[in-house]
Amino acid sequence: MSARRLRAVFVKELRHIARDWRSLVMALAVPLLLLLLFGYALTLDVDRIPTVVYDQDGTAESRELAARFRGSKFFQVTGAPEGYRGVVRRLDKGRALLAVVIGRGFARSLEAGETAKVQVLVDGSDSNTASIAAGYAEALVMAYSLELRQKWLEKKSAGKLEPPADLRARVLFNNAMQSKNFIVPGLIAVILMLIAAMLTSLTIAREWENGTMEQLLATPVRPRELLLGKLGAYFVLGVADTVIALAAGVGLFGVPMRGSYLLLAGTSALFLFGALCWGILLSTVARSQLLAYQAALLTSFLPAFLLSGFVFAIENMPWIVQQVTRLVPARYFVTILQGIFLKGVGLEVLWTPALFLLIYAVIVFGVASRKLRQKVA
């Protein structure tokens, strides 16, 4: 392998990237645009739930319960409906996601030590949001009911009402429980996989379509030198995209960075190299730029978005799908990013996903080299 020929291919590809300034601007702007779009639009936080409260009891205690819903950040009470039919009508029209019906005798039942009746109706169209909203409502009602019962027991000098269990929850790694701290690191992996694969998926196919591949074959450049030279040029562009994405994640979205920047740089470079090699492989197999572009989109963005654990928990997927996710490199890079950003762990914990990224990069690079030799032979 000649360093001179390798440098010549590298410089030639860099000049091509610089001349096509429109594609260059898009390659640098798309990661930031996608990060802004998904970072602000995609959220797993469930708050400000549209809620209606129907108070059939009309006592001071039931009005206080309704006020608790109005004062909670998780609920946005839109008003009091006229009758039970009004409750159902608002749920049917989508004007409310949750309805709380405080039954008659609510205060009297609590004072007598009986079970008070409170009905919670939830629109289950979105099952995940519905289950979380119902849990919030149940916790609020139970906490208020225990508070009222304790007050009446103290009035009767019956002693203090002790809860059956003393639960003390402590949230680690994401104390504020903000979904952006979970989403943004995974989003960086998805964006890098998409951009890297699409950047290189067109390079070899473009040479065939423009007729310049024959000119390259007439030179002493070897297939591996051609491959590494092109990879080097796009690797520089990919590093720029990585820096932009990381700077936006930390500076713009405020995602905590608790781990090592050196480990982050090393694993990002490893993942980026594997993604670029995958794009080169697709470009080598498909001589058409359109076909290479479609294949890159299908094999990079969709698996990274759906099967990496970025949005959907892998543990909740069917067993066969869980096994398929083991072949998705973005799954391991998402694990690494979340471990570095949120947990601050090092290579002693993340060596397994890092090893998989290394194996993936070596295998894909070897296959791409072999395919390119076959094409130019």
Interval 56-108: pLDDT, tens: 888 888 888 888 888 888 888 887 777 788 888 888 888 888 888 888 888 78
3-state secondary structure of 309: coil
DSSP letters spanning 129-154: HHHHHHHHHHHHHHHHHHHHHHHHHH
Count H helices and E strands in the chain, helices first. Answer: 16, 4
Averaged pLDDT score across all residues of the chain:
81
Which positions ≥6 away from 289 have C-beta within 8 Å?
202, 205, 206, 209
Q: Is 165 helix (H, G, I), strand (E, B) or coil?
A: coil
Secondary structure element (H or E) that encloses residue 101, with its range: strand 98-102
CATH architecture of 49-155: 3-Layer(aba) Sandwich (3.40)
- Residue 333's pLDDT band (cuts 50, 70, 90): very high
Confidence class of residue 267 from pLDDT cuts 50, 70 and 90? very high
Sign of the Cα pseudo-torsion (232, 233, 236, 237, in order): negative
CA angle at 38 for the pair 32 and 43, rounded to the nearest 5°: 145
Q: Over pLDDT 90: what percentage of the chain?
A: 11
Report pLDDT digits (tens) over 156-165. Answer: 665 555 555 5
Give 6-32 pLDDT, tens digit per residue.
777 778 777 877 777 777 777 778 788
SS3 118: strand
pLDDT at 166 over 70: no
Whether residue 102 contacts residue 66, with contact meaning beta carbons closer than 8 Å, is answered with: yes
CA distances from 8 to 13, 225, 232, 279, 312 (A): 9, 9, 11, 21, 44
- For 60, the 3-state DSSP assignment is helix
Report which residue type is found at 243.
V
Distance CA 65, CA 185 (A): 39
pLDDT at 262: 93
What is the model's pTM?
0.77
Distance CA 28, CA 32 (A): 7
Domain boundaries, the chain: 3-43+178-376, 49-155
The CA distance from 196 to 199, in Å, is 5
| Three-class secondary structure of residue 170 per DSSP | coil
Q: Lowest-pLDDT range, 25-29, 38-42, 86-90, 331-335?
A: 38-42
42-68: average pLDDT: 83
Per-residue pLDDT, 354: 94
